[in-house]
Structure formats: C-alpha cells, structure tokens
Amino acid sequence: MATRRKFLRNSLTTGAYIGLGLPGMRLASAQDTTEEEAHNKAVVRRFKESQGTDEYEQVLAEVQSPDYRRLRAGFDNLAANAAGSELAEEAQPVRTAFPDRTDTIDLMIADGDRVGMRFRVQGTHEGNFFGIPATGRTIDITEVGAFRLEDGKIVEAWFMADEVELLRQLGVGLPARQDGQRIVPAPATQSRPGQATLDEILAAPVDSQTYRNKVVVSAYKSEFPPPGVLPDRPGRPYDVYLRGGFKHLVDYGNANNLGDQNIGQAFPDRQDKVDFVLAEGDTVWIQFRLSGTNANSLYGIPPTNTHIEAAEVGIMTFDGARWDTGWFFGDDLGMALQLGVPDIFFS
C-alpha cells in the first residue's frame, strides 16, 4: 500500500493533477455522469419539497427504494436522549411539534450516485419535541442532508441539524431524563482515513477543474497531501472562512477568553476520517468526522483522555483553481455529549 500511495502522489505532481491522467488509466470525460447527477438531484429535491404536503406518501413510494435506510436523523442527539425514557413517551412527531415547518433548500450538489443538500428549517414550536413542551417560539436553523441513490431511487439518507441553535432559540437546554443518563449516539457512517479517500479519487482522474478542486479538498484531509497540491499560503488554504465547524464551541471559548485552548491543541493527534467527497461545478462537499484523542483542555473543558469522533460537513467554493471559501458545520451537541458537558451552551 505504501508503494502504491507513493506512486499515486508522485503521479499527481507529474501529470494526474494537471489533468494528464495516470499511466494505464482511462481519463474520464467530465460529462460522463451529468445526466445521472441531474436526475438524482431532481429526485432528492422532489423528496424534500414533498415533505409536509398531501403528496408526500405518493412521492415517497416513487422515489424511495424498498431498501431505504436513514443512517442518521437531523435531530439525532435529541432523539437518542429521549429514546427509552419518559421523554419519548411524551414526544410528538416532528411535524406535529412544528406544524408549520418549512424547509428551504439553498444548496444542492451531485456527484455520481450521491447528492448533498443544505437547507433552512423554520417553524413554530407548538407540540412536545423530544420531551420539550411547546414553547410557542419560532425556529430558523440550518440542516444538511446527504443521499445515495441506486437506479434513480434513494437508498440511504443522512441528516444533521443545528441542534444547539434550535435549543437556544427555544430557550431550553437538553431535556433531562429521569434516570439521569446522557446518551451519546454511535457514529452513523463508515468513515475511513482521508488518505484512502484521496487514493480512490486519484485512481479515477477526470480532465476538469472540478476534479482538480476535488483532489485539493480531499488532500486537505489526507495524511500525506501530495506535494504542490494544497495552496502555498500561510494559515487556512482558502480566502474566506465563512463558518467554523464547531461554531458554538468556538463561540463559547471566545466568550470566556479561552480561544487559545482550541480544537487543534485539544486533539493533538487529530486525523480526521472521511465519508466521501462530492464535487460539482465550483463547489466541493466533504463529509467527515473530527477524530482524535482529547488530551488537552478544550476551551476550559477538562480533557477526557478518550477518543472523540464528531460528524462534520465542509462546503467549499473555488474561483477557478483558487480556493475561495470554506464553510464548515459540525455536530456541536454530539461533541459536547462526548466531552460530558452537554449543558455548556445553555448556562
């Protein structure tokens, strides 16, 4: 494997990265899957836009595979916290708790058999939501979803909402269970080392700027980035940092003048695992897990000295070959649960 990686990295710098391909490999056309990707995006859009309407069940029967699996719910931490407790007995379906809920798509990206989607969730809290009695307050939060399709139908879906922001807008914290437990959901995907993802992408070169941008973002999360691939500049590799992955934790640290105790120093052996990377046009989506040992204090939170993994999505844009923006969205509440401080955002 080490020899193959070395070959791939060397090939990248001497030909593959600039679109010349790897020896003995077919250089795919940038248009090979355009029709499939457009169809997949239309299917996912129809699925999302039908939710909460009278047509939903009919649409579901048409777009969802019999083998469909929801790998993760948008409010996964809240659902896990309520499961098997009195909170679950009190809870109502999400669209009953928020009867006027609307989801507005603001970004979609398709690559092969996968589609990534970012959307805005709005609604009024009028019913019991995973143990939280109706507050009458409105919410306006971000959620992301990732889908895999086979034969034009959705076979897998994965969601992650900004649960911390939702709880803040409702004016509550994570509901307490009578048994006092704090439940940490298990990882919902089969992530792998970023190097394996990069190697796979390099093994199927495409002569397009979109592909080259995909390589750059994948290399950013790899153990051995090929020489010359990542931007040669100090600090972050992109021009504009639109959003930090664990924004609420960062905000907490800055508010308490603990910004120097950041994620980088709290997880000194950090080596993220990657689910997949998608690229379309000037946009690249990378879904991964922050992965490392919490060996040092994180914004004043005592170290657990345990291995932590927390889901994160990055959405990047490019201006030609220049990495323009980086937008990251992490599971703040899931991270806080693993650190043993789920109430830190609400005190």
**CA nearest to 232, candidates 216, 245, 247:** 216
59 and 134 within one domain: yes
Contact 299, 244 (CB under 8 A): no
150 and 44 within one domain: yes
333 and 196 within one domain: yes
For residue 11, tell me if it sits in a domain.
no
Tell me the C-alpha to C-alpha distance, in Å, between residue 34 and each of 145, 213, 230, 258: 21, 17, 27, 47
For residue 13, tell me if it sits in a domain.
no
The domain in which residue 277 lies consists of 192-339
Task: State both tokens at 339.
Answer: 């650190």
Query: Number of structural domains, the chain?
Result: 2
In the chain, what's the furthest Cα-to-Cα distance? Answer: 63
213 and 87 within one domain: no
Task: State both tokens at 59.
Answer: 């649409």
329 and 200 within one domain: yes
For residue 347, tell me if it sits in a domain.
no
What is the CATH classification number for the domain harbouring 280? 3.10.450.50
210 and 326 within one domain: yes
157 and 204 within one domain: no
133 and 200 within one domain: no
196 and 158 within one domain: no
Element (H or E) spanning 155, and its range? strand 153-161
Written as one string, the DSSP assignment of 264-320 is HHHSTT---EEEEEEEETTEEEEEEEEEEE--S-BTTBPP--SEEEEEEEEEEEEET
Q: What is the pLDDT along the chain (347 residues), one digit of tens a residue?
A: 444 444 444 444 434 454 434 433 444 444 455 899 999 999 999 999 999 999 999 999 999 999 999 999 999 999 999 999 999 999 999 999 999 999 999 999 999 999 999 999 999 999 999 999 999 999 999 999 999 999 999 999 999 999 999 999 999 999 999 999 999 998 888 899 999 999 999 999 999 999 999 999 999 999 999 999 999 888 899 999 999 999 999 999 999 999 999 999 999 999 999 999 999 999 999 999 999 999 999 999 999 999 999 999 999 999 999 999 999 999 999 999 999 999 999 97
110 and 221 within one domain: no
Contact 110, 280 (CB under 8 A): yes
